[in-house]
Amino acid sequence: MADLETFRSETRAWLEANCPAEMREPVRDESDIYWGGRRATFKNDAQKAWLEACVAKGYTVPAWPKAYGGAGLSPAEAKVLREEMGRIGARPPLSSFGIWMLGPALLHFGTEGQKQRFLNEIARGEIRWCQGYSEPGSGSDLVSLQTFGEDKGDHWVVNGQKVWTSYADHADWIFCLVRTDKADKYSGITFMLFDMASEGVATKPILLISGNSPFCETFFDNVEVPKSYGEDCPAYVGQINRGWDVAKYLLGHEREMISGADGGDRTAGIGAAMKRHSAKLGDDLDPVLRAELAMFDVDALAYTAMGEKFLDEIKVGKAHPAQPNMMKYAGTELNKRRHELMMAVGGSRSLEWDSEETEGGKPSRSWLRTKANSIEGGTSEVMLNVIAKRILDLPGA
């Protein structure tokens, strides 16, 4: 415990010395988030300095081993770092699907050579990854995916199409589920890694109801994927034809992430802020709306406790393995409700699509964006199926 307090005071001093003031301001829009990658540019010097300081310290991925670019922090130390960053409002120095998704998969399934190469690249923010999972005919029923890699000895030739590939048009590399055995549905998928600059890869952004395009369609037309990138560094994670195991493991992480269980302001009550917002617009909260906000806050604050409990239990292996599905279901449904209420409080002002006052239609675009929460990463209905089968053990589920 004393060690942890020492770590806390050291961390506090380090943050004080290294986190620039601009990086302690709340994230206002996409340009405030640094995603890294070959084509990334810094918005300002502060963003660059903050990233470099964190890379040097291993704080872009604090819980990863030092050999792979992390700081090797224990869960308790990582929590202290999160708390201390939260205390001064420090932004994450680097956001990436490499950190959130591929990294955990490689830590669990990767070879030493893969970890040395890819994890260090991710930790330094050098390569931006995207995830190739869903296909036009394979959404909730992901395992039916058809993108096919034909075995050509030392390489595959990949043909097919992915959809809902987040930021594929900005990504350098893709981790991609590819069918390599048409005869076996579950044991015929390989979890491949390849360069988006490969010949035959094309991306096309999808315009969403929010007016934004965070997702792409991704096309593979005779893309050659080598089976190896050098000694002990295969181009696939886990084993050939066993990529579904990796995908399932990763979906757990994704569901956890989307659920908001890791904290942040998304899980807190909103009523007090909505009252202030309403007053700023010259309005009073309608009593019925206030009542709905109160009921929402009860659910939101209870869910925050659940998130805390869930993370505590995960640390010691007490959580039910299917519990992330419950967290994802409850968290995303709650977030949709949150934005419905925020729109109601904002009234006609929140309808504005591109006004300066709304920072380019932020309320309405965010509201529309949340509708995807209960679809992406497994729909609410799929989550309920999984709970029924794996937790409640209901028949035929």
Partner 1 sequence: MPLYHNEDQAMLADTARGFIAEEGNIAKQLRHWRDRNCKDGFGHGLWKQMAEMGFTGMLVEEADGGLGMGHVEAGIVLEEIGRNLTPSPFLTSSVLAATALKHSSADMKGRYLPGLIAGDSVFAVAIDETAKHRPSRITTRAEKSGNGFKLNGAKSFVIHGGSADMIVVAARTSGGDEDADGITLFAVPKDVAGASHDHVRLVDSSMATHMRLDNVELDGDAVIGEIDGGRAVLDAMLLAGRVGAAAEGVGVARGAMDMTVDYLKQRKQFGKLIGEFQALQHRASHLYSEVEIARAATIKAQQLLDAGAPSADLMASVAKAKVAKTARLAVQEGVQMHGGIGMTDEYDIGLYMKRDRALAEFLGDAYFHANRVATLSGY
Q: Under the rule (CB under 8 A), what is the footprint of partner 1?
A: 269, 271-272, 274-275, 285, 290-291, 293-295, 297-299, 301-303, 305-306, 308-310, 312-313, 315-316, 318, 323, 326, 329-330, 381, 383-385, 387-388, 391-397
Between 201 and 289, CB nearer to partner 1: 289
Query: Can you give the C-alpha Rg of the chain in angstroms?
Result: 22
Phi, psi of 219 (to 5 degrees): -110, 140
Instruction: Compute the least distance from the CB of residue 341 to partner 1, in Å.
Output: 12
Nearest to 215 by CA among 99, 122, 105, 131: 131
| Structure-block tokens of residue 272 | 């007090």
Type and span of the H or E element at 162: strand 155-166
Instruction: Compute the least distance from the CB of residue 47 to partner 1, in Å.
Output: 34
Residues 224 and 236 sit within 8 Å (Cβ to Cβ): no
Instruction: Compute the least distance from the CB of residue 63 to partner 1, in Å.
Output: 18
Instruction: Compute the least distance from the CB of residue 308 to partner 1, in Å.
Output: 5
Residues 213 and 206 sit within 8 Å (Cβ to Cβ): yes
Between 272 and 351, CB nearer to partner 1: 272
| Structure-block tokens of residue 229 | 């990138």
Please list, in sequence order, all residues whose beta carbon lies within 8 angstroms of the beta carbon of residue 42, skipping any fewer than 6 positions away. 34, 48, 51
Between 56 and 305, CB nearer to partner 1: 305
Give me the long-range contacts of 197-200 (CB less than 8 A, separation at least 24).
197/172, 198/223, 198/224, 198/225, 199/223, 199/224, 200/158, 200/224
Distances (CA, A) of 141 to 185, 189, 282, 323, 377: 11, 14, 48, 20, 12
Instruction: Compute the least distance from the CB of residue 319 to partner 1, in Å.
Output: 9
Between 3 and 381, CB nearer to partner 1: 381
Instruction: Compute the least distance from the CB of residue 116 to partner 1, in Å.
Output: 34
Between 96 and 323, CB nearer to partner 1: 323
Between 27 and 76, CB nearer to partner 1: 76
Instruction: Compute the least distance from the CB of residue 288 to partner 1, in Å.
Output: 13
Instruction: Compute the least distance from the CB of residue 155 to partner 1, in Å.
Output: 43
Maximum alpha-carbon separation in the chain: 70
| Structure-block tokens of residue 168 | 């594929």
Between 27 and 397, CB nearer to partner 1: 397
Between 157 and 273, CB nearer to partner 1: 273
Q: At what angle do helices 45-57 and 2-18 cross, to 10 degrees?
A: 150
Instruction: Compute the least distance from the CB of residue 320 to partner 1, in Å.
Output: 9
Between 143 and 268, CB nearer to partner 1: 268
Q: Which amino acid is at 203?
A: T
Distances (CA, A) of 13 to 60, 84, 88: 18, 10, 12
Between 48 and 390, CB nearer to partner 1: 390
Residues 176 and 147 sit within 8 Å (Cβ to Cβ): yes
CA atoms within 13 A on the CB side of 161: 10
Residues 105 and 57 sit within 8 Å (Cβ to Cβ): no
Instruction: Compute the least distance from the CB of residue 318 to partner 1, in Å.
Output: 6
